[in-house]
Amino acid sequence: MSRKTKGCIGILTGGGDVPGLNPAIRAITIRAVREGYQVIGIRRGWAGLVDMVPDKNFDNSSNYIQLNEELVNRIARTGGTFLHSSRTNPAKVPLDRIPEHFKDKYTDEKNDVTEDILKNLDFLKIDYLIPIGGDDTLSYAVRLHKEGVKLIAIPKTMDNDVPGTDYCIGFSTCITRVIEMTHDLRTTAGSHERFLMIEVFGRYAGYTALIPTMAGAANRCVIPEHKFDIEQLTELLIEDRNKTPSRYSVCLISEGAMFKGGEMIFESSEADQFGHKKLGGIGDIISVQVKNLSIKYEKRTVNVISQRLGYLVRCGNPDAIDSIVPMAFGNLALNLILEGVTGRMVNLRNGRYDNVPINVVTSFKKVVDVNKYYNTERLRPFYKSFDAKPLFLMTSDY
């Protein structure tokens, strides 16, 4: 591929889709092109680099695409990622996912193909790489940084759990949808005098359940950071229900929430390339147990509406914040490249845009500080003051 005067920038999106990815791609591309760079979009996250054949005569159109202003302007207002995504981990590619042209080279059950990732980046003549993703996607970016790849990372995840930043692309739209849908479901819960149990995303971090509850969407929430007692939850929901004229109460449940003495609930034993099994079902299990226990506190059994919001909160168009922040993050990334600075992740910290060393991504787990923000006696958000707090209240301490 021909090179622009200043070089070539590659962009990829990995992990789950969220609203705000396309605006980020647009912001990077337009700024980069106007600064004199060529821009390549790598398809399907790290998978595009794994599957690529470094041969100019091979059709790699399913692995990368050249980006320009006209193309990205058409997609910027939409959700998801037009570059597509995957949960591919080039450091641990299963044997059955090894591309045909590498079958003789990689024969282990799990294979580290980083050597060929580096060759493919060189084949594309990429000078700077901008991966947009969560802690899994960016953990491999840390690996490439250590291998000498010049990159700037952009944090994205609806769970808001990437270390080193107070905000990740996708979080605002997610919690906006959770709040809206929970309020919509109240009409049914109130009509039938039931408990409303809503399961939301959140494997290790409970922000997507805690913040909407803090905003008044629910009476109680259970989060991965604190193993809860089902009798305590039932008694609190009965208390809430009896205080409400329409005799219903609402609980938000993180998909990674755990019973006291128990572990996470998985749909199957199959794990992705980052070792994560698919979560789901805790909301239904809690609903059954709360219903069965309700007669202990009432004269009759209280029925339950159990709803898993799932992909409804990550699909569709971005809200205002997830349209503005990706634009800013994309421009911040270009600023760093123009300054000759790499190995960083752009971030939002205490209401200000900034950047941190990319190694922060693998330095600790970003989860809810239970002592500061979660009342374990009342199973709901706990806070003393909003003074000097960021927009979504909880900072990423590092």
Q: Mind listing the pLDDT tens digit for each residue in 156-186? A: 999 999 999 999 999 999 999 999 999 999 9
CATH code: domain 8-169+316-362 is: 3.40.50.450
8-state DSSP, 251: E
Whether 10 contacts 52, CB under 8 Å: no
In the prediction, which pLDDT does 2 show?
46
In the prediction, which pLDDT does 111 show?
97
Q: What angle do CA 268, 271, 277 make, to 5 degrees?
A: 55
Residues of the chain with CATH 3.40.50.450: 8-169+316-362
Residues of the chain with CATH 3.40.50.460: 173-313+370-381
Residue 338 backbone class (left: φ over 0; alpha: ψ -120 to 50; beta: rest): alpha
In the prediction, which pLDDT does 396 show?
60
Strand partners, 67: 39
Count Cβ neighbours within 10 Å for each residue of 266-300 and write b for 16 or more, e otherwise: beeeeebbbeeeebbebbbbbbebbbebbeeeeee
Which one-letter amino acid corresponds to residue 319?
Answer: D
In the prediction, which pLDDT does 272 show?
85
Among candidate residues 159, 161, 240, 322, the one labeled active-site is 159
Q: Convert the pLDDT of each residue in 287-323 to its tens digit.
A: 999 999 999 998 899 999 999 999 999 999 999 999 9
Read off the pTM.
0.94
3-state helix, strand, coil in the chain (%, to 5): 35, 20, 45
In the prediction, which pLDDT does 264 show?
86
Whether 327 contacts 23, CB under 8 Å: yes
Which residues in the chain show pLDDT less than 70? 1-5, 395-398
Q: Which one, of 208, 190, 188, lies nearest residue 199 by Cα?
A: 208
Q: Which one, of 136, 92, 90, 91, lies nearest residue 365 by Cα?
A: 136
Q: Which one, of 119, 126, 123, lies nearest residue 67 by Cα?
A: 126
116 noted as active-site residue:
no
Pick the CATH number of 173-313+370-381 from 3.90.550.10, 3.10.580.10, 3.40.50.460, 3.30.565.10: 3.40.50.460
Which one-letter amino acid corresponds to residue 6?
Answer: K
In the prediction, which pLDDT does 275 show?
81
Place of tokens 């809503």: 198
